Amino acid sequence: MKHVISAKQFDLDTLAELFSTAKALKKRLSEQKVVKLAVDRILMTVFLEPSTRTRLSFVYAMKRLGGEVVDFGPEEVTSRAKGETFEDTMRMLDGYAPDVIVLRSREVGAAEKASKIVRCNVINAGDGWNEHPTQALLDVYTIWEQLGRVDGLRIAIMGDLRYGRTPSSLSYLLAKYRDITFHYVAPPQLQIREEVLKEVSHHTVHQHSRLEEIRDEVDVLYVTRLQKERLGDENLYQQLRGSYVVTVDLLKKLKKIPLIMHPLPRVDELPAEVDALPQAKYFQQAENGVYVRAALLTKLLNLDISSLQSS
Amino acid sequence: MKHVISAKQFDLDTLAELFSTAKALKKRLSEQKVVKLAVDRILMTVFLEPSTRTRLSFVYAMKRLGGEVVDFGPEEVTSRAKGETFEDTMRMLDGYAPDVIVLRSREVGAAEKASKIVRCNVINAGDGWNEHPTQALLDVYTIWEQLGRVDGLRIAIMGDLRYGRTPSSLSYLLAKYRDITFHYVAPPQLQIREEVLKEVSHHTVHQHSRLEEIRDEVDVLYVTRLQKERLGDENLYQQLRGSYVVTVDLLKKLKKIPLIMHPLPRVDELPAEVDALPQAKYFQQAENGVYVRAALLTKLLNLDISSLQSS
Amino acid sequence: MKHVISAKQFDLDTLAELFSTAKALKKRLSEQKVVKLAVDRILMTVFLEPSTRTRLSFVYAMKRLGGEVVDFGPEEVTSRAKGETFEDTMRMLDGYAPDVIVLRSREVGAAEKASKIVRCNVINAGDGWNEHPTQALLDVYTIWEQLGRVDGLRIAIMGDLRYGRTPSSLSYLLAKYRDITFHYVAPPQLQIREEVLKEVSHHTVHQHSRLEEIRDEVDVLYVTRLQKERLGDENLYQQLRGSYVVTVDLLKKLKKIPLIMHPLPRVDELPAEVDALPQAKYFQQAENGVYVRAALLTKLLNLDISSLQSS
């Protein structure tokens, strides 16, 4: 594995190995701040679209492995603002010889394009509405950690399924496992894309326009934010934001309150009252991002993780 | 001491200990760039309001202790811009496990709020017009360093006393010592707030509208900037800025030229001609910020400072 | 050598020494990511004008020498925005005791001004239209690396010679060598400045308004970008941008296709089709920036480079 471009690229063995490393790192990093596995390695963050969580999560993952981080800088203060092409920017960065580039872009396919230009590893940290594979890794890791298994999972994925890259990547990754039941919950204009449905077609798939329509028990409810910045239409946004609010009341109407996950940041769709439920797992999920991304870095950079096994 | 929220929280023993550590660090850091006391510890800077001095001062303090720094990033490129609440941002950061969060916010009480959410240490690096306790620490350290004592101090504090957080925190901290004489110099609409007057009421307190009104000798003149960004009213700003200029001429009219301090940045209120006076101490004051903040970090993070004593 | 302000300040011995160190570093850094020569040293980047390449190139140079980097932050989020003078900013930074300040500014002479204020080394990373000496160093290093010599060089420098600081510094540096032939190619309103012509007057100098006018063989064609942000006049920019495009067709009309260099970023003046030519050296040139700047840092900071010689 040289690059991480799509959630589709992972097989079950790789996932098992990554999750096992992530688990060992989580344990070790709860005892010490830094585990020196990536000393003298340089991770470069290139975020051509605003980000906090993913960027900081990679920064902490690398720093807590003892490695270095260089940030490209916000787009508006860089030479991209002078009209440089993406290809030139990548060729320049390649010359500086980072060990790995973590790239976020508004452009679908940007990470893949970058991976064909540079010599180092490339990690897709979100390319437009397309994919966000490391988010899916930490999502599935959290499910595995909480439920002890992924096979047989019954999951409801709710919110902006059309323009959100998180639902796509999560679906692609879960599709690798056995016997998954997907409930996609969204208004018709924001339902999951055809290309995603194709990838999960060997599983059980339901589409709903409202959460209350789900009659069966689900293990996980994965809520996502309506992405104002992708939706474009202000009227549609205002109309939809109110109708996709997961209150405690609504949750109690379900057959069983499922684990509640969210890639964060949340706005209105998940009120703070839900935080008190023992099923609310979104902050653990965010924290797991550090361990899963650190595990991924050990794999991409071929770091020696033998010292983790003794723990 | 887990968090640093207010200058009110310090007692004289803690101040003496901090200043002693700061002095030892200043000596050692004049001989070597880095003293490796904070290796593998991570400080996170979260500046939700522009800052240079305080932010860089903490960055240098941590780096010169051999520690790591992660910056949250400017507010407009972060998920805060997507509408995330302050509470959620703090819970997310908590999951990444920094050792200490240094927080600046426009919101009064933000640092205290953060300290109730996260597990790590929190340092208030300015919350609106309210407080800026580490500035007060370096101010009082500089007074102690220059005069050899703080008890019995006669100080004039001048400028925007109402909206400036520096005069409040400085007053709170000086109030801990014995027998302080405060001269608050400001136009009526910018005079020191009632809540601050209450805290210093066991000392001698005078209010003046102009510096020339002070007839007694003062040891320190502490000048502050009119904060255009807090004042709001452009007309008032233009009207006041001219009348609060500390020229060499004005200083010579005082009974004795006092030590001149300023939290910086300065604009018009302290012309460059003053820099040549031996009493001008504001750049030393700024430099001391590194040592005082480093000393504070050794205390909050329980770092082993025994190696400093041998110096 | 304490500061690097102008390309004029270098003599041939210093250049030979720097290039030899840069070559040794290039070899060593191709074998290992980091060579620990600058441990516990702090480089501060102060970019008061947007930059990617130069800034990142210095960051990588310092990090790959095992040193630390502190960034001043973008101008708009710093105290500069509160109206602080340049002098005050520099005196403040001086107090924090970085080992070296790398400064870019829109203001001609800014680095020189800084060098008179601070105690540490200062490197001019571009001061308005005036100079960019480290760019010239990497340019001449690349010529030396590619051709094995600099004496006797025949070079065409093309584009915005008037407002571009790269052509000035490159000319000043090449002027130190023997027997250089300069062909300055630009429209009359963007021709090389008088002050530069004076410095190269002991060499052979030609001015042309179009590349096709050069009848003699040249070894290097150095293309620069029309700098929209300096040109001011949008109409002039639109009129000129089309007529200074170095296509493969145009190159083939020359007596011999020269080495093609460019400080990057490029916009229209150098189409991607040129990249495939073996003579296209601009990406190697950018990469060399890391080694040359690292070599310069070893010299300014008096780092012990004896370990490089054994390689």
Tokens of B1: 């001491």
- Edge to edge, the sheet with strand B181-185 lists B204-208, B181-185, B154-158, B220-223, B259-261
Minimal CA–CA distance to C172: which of C144, C196, C150, C145? C196
Sign of the alpha-carbon dihedral angle for C149, C151, C155, C157 = positive
Neighbours of C2 (CB within 10 A): 10
Q: A40: nearest CA in chain C?
A: C34
Neighbours of C91 (CB within 10 A): 18
Beta-bridge partners for C216: none
Q: Tell me, what's the pLDDT at B231? A: 67
Same domain, B208 and B247: yes
Per-residue pLDDT reduced to its tens digit, A202-215: 999 999 999 999 99
Per-residue pLDDT reduced to its tens digit, C10-67: 999 999 999 999 999 999 999 999 999 999 999 999 999 888 899 999 999 999 999 9
Residue B297 structural domain: 7-131+286-309
Q: Tell me, what's the pLDDT at C183? A: 98
Tell whether B169 is covered by a domain: yes
Q: Tell me, what's the pLDDT at C268? A: 87
Same domain, A118 and A204: no
* Residue among C64, C272, C287 minimizing CB distance to A95: C287
Per-residue pLDDT reduced to its tens digit, A14-51: 999 999 999 999 999 999 999 999 999 999 999 998 88
pLDDT at residue C311 tops 60: no
Phi and psi, residue B117, nearest 5°: -100, -45
Tell whether A1 is covered by a domain: no
All residues of chain A having their beta carbon less than 8 Å from the beta carbon of residue B96 are: 56-57, 60, 287, 290
DSSP type of residue A4: B
Beta-carbon contacts of residue B71 (< 8 Å; ≥ 6 apart): B44, B45, B47, B55
Same domain, A52 and A124: yes
Q: How confident is the model at residue A227 (pLDDT cuts 50, 70, 90)?
A: confident
Percent helix, percent strand, percent coil in chain B, to nearest 5: 45, 15, 40
Same domain, C178 and C269: yes
Per-residue pLDDT reduced to its tens digit, C250-270: 999 999 999 999 999 998 899
Mean pLDDT, chain B, integer: 94
Q: Are A56 and B70 a contacting pair at CB < 8 A?
A: yes
Mean pLDDT, chain A, integer: 94
Same domain, C161 and C17: no
Q: How confident is the model at residue B310 (pLDDT cuts 50, 70, 90)?
A: low
Minimal CA–CA distance to A296: which of A97, A58, A54? A58
Q: What mean pLDDT do residues B42-65 have? A: 94
Q: B291: nearest CA in chain C?
A: C96
Q: Which chains form contacts with chain B, at 3 or more CB pairs under 8 Å?
A: A, C
pLDDT at residue B25 tops 90: yes
Same domain, A245 and A208: yes
Q: A85: nearest CA in chain C?
A: C267
Same domain, B184 and B153: yes
Whether C298 and C305 have beta carbons less than 8 Å apart is answered as yes
Q: Are C70 and B63 a contacting pair at CB < 8 A?
A: yes
Phi and psi, residue A61, nearest 5°: -55, -45
* Residue among A41, A83, A88 minimizing CB distance to C33: A41
All residues of chain B having their beta carbon less than 8 Å from the beta carbon of residue C113 are: none
Beta-bridge partners for C4: C123
Tell whether B2 is covered by a domain: no
Integer Cα distance of B100 and B62 in angstroms: 10
Amino acid letter, residue C133: P
Q: What mean pLDDT do residues A174-184 have? A: 98
Share of chain A above pLDDT 90, in %: 84
State the smallest CA–CA distance between residue C270 and chain B in angstroms. Answer: 32
Global ipTM: 0.94
Q: Tell me, what's the pLDDT at A102? A: 98
Q: How confident is the model at residue A77 (pLDDT cuts 50, 70, 90)?
A: low
Q: Are C50 and A78 a contacting pair at CB < 8 A?
A: yes
Per-residue pLDDT reduced to its tens digit, A284-308: 999 999 999 999 999 999 999 999 9
Query: What CATH code is carried by the domain that includes residue B210?
Result: 3.40.50.1370
Integer Cα distance of A286 and A278 in angstroms: 16
Per-residue pLDDT reduced to its tens digit, C201-260: 999 999 999 999 999 999 999 999 887 766 667 787 777 777 789 999 999 999 999 999
Cα separations (Å) of A53 from A47, A290, B42?
12, 10, 17
Q: Tell me, what's the pLDDT at B60? A: 98
Minimal CA–CA distance to B168: which of B7, B1, B55, B51? B7
Same domain, A233 and A91: no
All residues of chain C having their beta carbon less than 8 Å from the beta carbon of residue B289 are: 95
Q: Tell me, what's the pLDDT at A163? A: 87
Q: How confident is the model at residue C79 (pLDDT cuts 50, 70, 90)?
A: low
Can you give the pTM of this predicted structure?
A: 0.95
Determine if residue A83 is left, alpha or beta; phi over 0 gives left, psi from -120 to 50 gives alpha, anything else beta: left
Q: Are B73 and A52 a contacting pair at CB < 8 A?
A: yes
Determine if residue C302 is left, alpha or beta; phi over 0 gives left, psi from -120 to 50 gives alpha, anything else beta: left
Tell whether B47 is covered by a domain: yes
Q: Which chains form contacts with chain A, at 3 or more CB pairs under 8 Å?
A: B, C
Tell whether B206 is covered by a domain: yes
pLDDT at residue A281 tops 70: yes
Q: Tell me, what's the pLDDT at A104? A: 95
Cα separations (Å) of B128 from A17, A171, B161, C35, C88?
48, 44, 13, 45, 24
Integer Cα distance of C262 and A82 in angstroms: 15
Give the residue numbers in B contacting C (CB under 8 Å), as ranges: 29, 32-34, 47, 50-53, 55-57, 59-60, 63-64, 66, 74, 225, 228-229, 264-267, 272, 283-284, 286-287, 289-290
Share of chain A above pLDDT 70, in %: 95
Same domain, A259 and A184: yes
Q: Tell me, what's the pLDDT at B241? A: 76
Same domain, B276 and B297: no
Same domain, B181 and B115: no
State the smallest CA–CA distance between residue C38 and chain B in angstroms. Answer: 11
Per-residue pLDDT reduced to its tens digit, B209-266: 999 999 999 999 999 988 776 666 778 777 777 778 999 999 999 999 999 999 999 9
pLDDT at residue B75 tops 80: no
Q: Are C56 and A99 a contacting pair at CB < 8 A?
A: no
Tell whether A215 is covered by a domain: yes
Count of A-C CB contacts under 8 Å: 85
Provide the CA A146 distance to its chain's centre, in angstroms. 17
Integer Cα distance of C113 and C97 in angstroms: 18
Q: Tell me, what's the pLDDT at A50? A: 80
Tell whether C2 is covered by a domain: no
Provide the CA A278 distance to its chain's centre, in angstroms. 22
pLDDT at residue B288 tops 60: yes
State the smallest CA–CA distance between residue B100 and chain A in angstroms. Answer: 12
E-assigned strand segments in chain B: 42-47, 68-71, 100-105, 121-127, 154-158, 181-185, 204-208, 220-223, 259-261
Whether C107 and C309 have beta carbons less than 8 Å apart is answered as no
Tell whether C181 is covered by a domain: yes
Whether A33 and B42 have beta carbons less than 8 Å apart is answered as yes
pLDDT at residue C102 tops 80: yes
Q: What mean pLDDT do residues B290-297 have? A: 98
Same domain, A68 and A174: no
Q: Tell me, what's the pLDDT at C65? A: 98
Inter-axis angle of helices B282-300 and B12-31, nearest 10: 110
Look at chain A and report how many structural domains it folds into: 2
